[in-house]
Amino acid sequence: MSRVTLPMSDELKSNLSQPSDAGPTASRSTVPIWIIVLTLLLLFLGAVYFDRHSGWFDKQVYAPYTSAEQLASYQPKSGAASMLTHGKAVYETYCGLCHGSDGLGKPGQAPELAGSEWVAKDITSLARIPLAGLNGPIQVKGRDWNLSMAPMGASLSDADLSAVLTYIRESWGNKNGAVSVDEMKAARAAISGNAPTAADLAKMTPVERGHAVFQKYGCFQCHGQEAKGGVPNPNAKTAEQVPGLIYVADGYTKDELKTFIRRGERNIPMLHPDGPPPPHFMPSWSNVISTNELNDLADYLFSLKPKGDNLGF
């Protein structure tokens, strides 16, 4: 097909010859102040919206609830359901970090609880794990583990422990039955059955009694036998281990030490700030340990400073 050339009109020709002034042009000018004001206002409103509707990013709070308090007000107050919600809250605080919210554990660190034969055992055997910790080799669902678990539940009440064990025994497909507060009380008594009697304690010195307290609450599980330290705590700034306690007499007054034990330390500084939080932390013992026990414990810990070691400075 041959090309057809249309004759161009004169008007068109004259338009082509001059530069067009109809196109868009760009020029610099300041951002109008109202845009800045509007943006700040929107940011502010956004923040207010988040504040009112997100429960401040609390992972338990989803719309339409606006705060943890409101959410709690809708929870069942009694019966089996309340035991499970209470247990879940305790679980997420103390166990979930390692054993996972899904109960599947963490490879190389914490075995799964879903379908675990240890969860199905008698209540005393199961309760011994959070109460006393678990160190050394263990087999779970046919896989070998070498554990160093702290006595995460040693500072919990019977109500908290029975709730969390019930939650573990009744979640993720587990059907092992609830644990009542009375059963938990009996299990705790059975586990601490080899503790010294009151008559024994009366004959002991404060340091000896303090040692018994150290054993009773499982302090050695994290701070090591005779408080010499060395238990791994991955990503803790303290050389990835739980500190030993033999030099506390140098670094604390007895009152400072007792205050620290009562309060605990939930936030362990991290070696790598982007890494995972260290699994072990110092629980608060204020609701667990008696004043006399705490005094004896401080005496025991102060007695540990190596003799003749004036290494201070």
Partner 1 sequence: MRTNHKFDVLVLGVAVLALFGAAVARAEDQLDAETKARIDKFEKGPATIDVSKYPQGIQDNYETFSQKCAQCHKLSRPVNCDYVLPDEWSRYVKRMMRKPGSGIDSADGKKIYEFLTYDSSVRKKVMLDDKLAKLTPDEKAAAEAKIKEVHDKYDNK
- What burial letters (b/e) apply to 214-227, b meaning 16+ CB within 10 Å? bbbbbbbbbbbeeb
36 belongs to the binding site for partner 1 (CB under 8 A): yes
| Interface of this chain with partner 1, residues 226 to 245, rule: CB under 8 A | 229, 237-241, 243-244
Q: Does 251 bind partner 1 (CB under 8 A)?
A: yes
Outline where DSSP puts E strands in 216-259: none
CB of 261 to partner 1, least distance (A): 13
37-72 b/e (C-beta count within 10 Å ≥ 16 → b): eeeeeeeeeeeeeeeeeebeeeeebeeebebeeebe
Q: What is the residue type of 282? A: M
CA distance 186 to 59: 34
Residues 48-107 binding partner 1 (CB under 8 A) are: 50, 56-57
Cβ neighbours of residue 204 under 8 Å, at least 6 residues apart? Answer: 196, 212
* Closer of 125 and 253 to partner 1 (Cβ): 253
Interacting span for partner 1 (CB under 8 A) from 6-14, 35-43, 103-111, 217-225 = 35-43
Angle at 128 between CA 125 and CA 130, to 5 degrees: 130
Least distance between partner 1 and beta carbon 43 (Å) = 6
CB of 243 to partner 1, least distance (A): 6
Task: Determine the Cα–Cα distance for residues 299 and 205; give it in Å rounded to an integer.
Answer: 10
Instruction: Decide: is 40 part of the binding site for partner 1 (CB under 8 A).
Output: yes
Judged by CB under 8 A, does residue 151 bind partner 1? no
Contact between 263 and partner 1 (CB under 8 A)? yes
Q: Which of 71, 61, 218 is nearest to 149 (CA)?
A: 218
Phi, psi of 144 (to 5 degrees): -90, 135
- Candidates 121-129, 153-161, 182-190, 248-256: pick the segment binding partner 1 (CB under 8 A): 248-256
Give the number of other CB atoms < 10 A from CB of residue 92.
15
The nearer residue to partner 1, 18 or 29, going by C-beta atoms, is: 29
Residues in region 266-285 near partner 1 by CB under 8 A = 266-267, 269
Q: By CB under 8 A, is residue 25 in contact with partner 1?
A: no
User: Which residues in this chain contact partner 1 in the complex, by CB under 8 A?
Assistant: 28-31, 36, 39-40, 43-44, 46-47, 50, 56-57, 229, 237-241, 243-244, 247, 250-253, 263, 266-267, 269, 311-313
